[in-house]
Chain A
Amino acid sequence: MSATAMIVMLAICGVVWGGFGAMLIWMALLERRISASMVAGEPDQ
């Protein structure tokens, strides 16, 4: 595999998969916090 193809592969996969993974983790952390507030008696309106 050529160096250029390798660099493009790492860049594209890094942006797309890395971005998705990072957002998933961010969302998971936030969701735990929101669930905690719902349990504490702040129902969704």
Chain B
Amino acid sequence: MDSELPAASVSERFHSRWGLVLATLGMAVGTGNIWRFPRIVASNGGGSFLIAWVLFLFLWSVPLMIVEFSFGKRARLGALRAFRRLAGPGAGWMGGWVALCATAIMFYYSVVAGWCLRYFAASITGELRGGDPQAFWSSYAGSYQAFLTHAVALALAVSVVWFGVRGIERIAKILIPLLALLVVILAIRAVTLPGAAAGLEFLFRPDWHALRDVNIWLQALTQNAWDTGAGWGLILTYAIYMRAREDVPLNSFLIAFGNNSMSLLAGIMVLCTVFAINPGAREDIVGAGNEGLTFIWMPRLFEQMPAGGFFMSFFFLALSFAALTSLISMIELVTRLLIDAGMIRRRALGVVICGGLWFGAPSALSLAFLHNQDWVWGVGLMLSGLFFALAARRFGVERLRREVVNAEGANFHVGRWWSFVITVVVPLEAVILMAWWLWEARGWDPEGWLHPFRSATVGTVLLQWLIALILVVLLNRWVGQRGTRGSGEATS
């Protein structure tokens, strides 16, 4: 194992626990909480879905967050080297996969963050008022303007990570309370609109028969895998900088519950607004997809609301904060990997911004390409979750529980249930989820489901995963050959 590797220096730590918790919450709360959760609840049985969603919080999100916090705290290294150190050199490629998957998501996520910033600007300048949101979206998405906003989002996030963990902590302490405040204001506004009770009824009314539908359970599990950030490698990255005597279990539960609290508020906000303003179009709105709901329907709904321009600005500002804080964590993940490889932070960030601009450009200029990447690496995250569980098994799940999770600083001790979930339940969930999504994709394009160059096929997933796996195996071999050369963090 890479036991000789110097890890992150003691001076690079979160100054306070609030800093760690707020930064990690910022990572977890992203656009998926605001634009995906309400749609998925609405189209999957409302209250029944919520029951399954809360259950999987304990069977996927929290257990994996505990693993991530433990790995980061124990190894004090980025994903690839942390896997090598804790699960053995042969497991480094799994850490490499986790890192590569999050990096690929970062490339197109900065495009999404750019969209949010552009719409916030448009809501302030009044460009969205009185016009046709569909036409505005069509002329903007996929154009050179989207590339420019992608560059702006990337530059903003890099300027925060430039100052290291202290920069991340400072910005999280400002943006996350503001984000929470904005979402609370918007939710209160939505529930006080005439007719909003129908939205609450729709959101919370359970359809007990729906609980027999396996798709609802799989959608609830997917939502946990995609919107809590568990198993992405991002929590591991922030945990590198947590203080030595800091707790793991309470932090994990806190982040998971905080993330889901925001999702619930977003669900109330969106569905109450839809039911109060335009209940007749709810099927169209829910079926419009993430971008359709957010960038076409929400401006239309705000337009019809009293003081709608004001609340529309709040909505897109909240979305921008959510996107930026998540983007910051992804950039820190890549930066940390480069620092582990011997670069100083500033040079690493130079590489990240050049790489981000270059590899994000196709997603900025083509929605089909962005959707392809979202599909391929979204399913890839399930494999990342599986790899975390497997790496924990290689280290020894009970040993991890005893030596890290329940070690000094733990606010409460995690029982053996966690070991069982990580050893048996999470791997089973990951395999079932991946198989289900790939099976579903077969139905989307029955003729060309194996086609490697179409947007959402099984073929494109298999081809890109194969290339990624070859890359991470080679990368792990290269890291092994470099042996125990030092990390550059001390010189940054």
Complex CA distance for A4 and B48, rounded to whole angstroms = 11
CB–CB B54/A9 < 8 A: no
Question: Does more than half of chain B's interface fall in helix, strand or loop, or is it mixed?
Answer: helix
Residues of B within 8 A of A2 (CB): 201, 205
A contact residues, range: 20 to 34
Q: Is A8 an interface residue (CB 8 A)?
A: yes
Give the complex CA separation of A45 and B197 in angstroms.
Answer: 53
CA distance A6 to B200 in the complex (A): 9
Q: Do A8 and B47 contact each other (CB < 8 Å), given the known contacts A30-B411, A44-B10?
A: yes
What CA separation (Å) do A19 and B50 show in the bound complex?
15
The total of Cβ contacts below 8 Å across the A-B interface reads 79
* Closest Cβ neighbor of B199 among chain A residues: A1
| A26 cross-chain contacts in B, Cβ below 8 A | 250, 411
- State whether A9 touches B244 (Cβ < 8 A): no
Q: Which of A12, A24, A44 contacts B204 (CB 8 A)?
A: A12
CA distance A31 to B243 in the complex (A): 12
Residue of B204, B250, B261 near A27 (CB, 8 A) is B250
Contact residues on B (Cβ < 8 Å of other chain), bracket: 20 to 34
Contact sample, A vs B, 20 pairs, CB 8 Å cutoff: A1-B197, A5-B201, A5-B205, A8-B47, A8-B51, A8-B204, A8-B205, A12-B264, A15-B54, A16-B54, A16-B261, A17-B264, A19-B257, A27-B251, A30-B17, A30-B247, A34-B245, A44-B10, A44-B243, A44-B244
Which residues from chain A sit less than 8 Å from chain B, CB to CB? 1-2, 4-6, 8-9, 12-13, 15-17, 19-20, 23-24, 26-27, 30-31, 34-35, 44-45
6 tightest Cβ-Cβ pairs between the two chains A and B: A20-B257, A9-B204, A5-B205, A8-B47, A44-B243, A5-B204
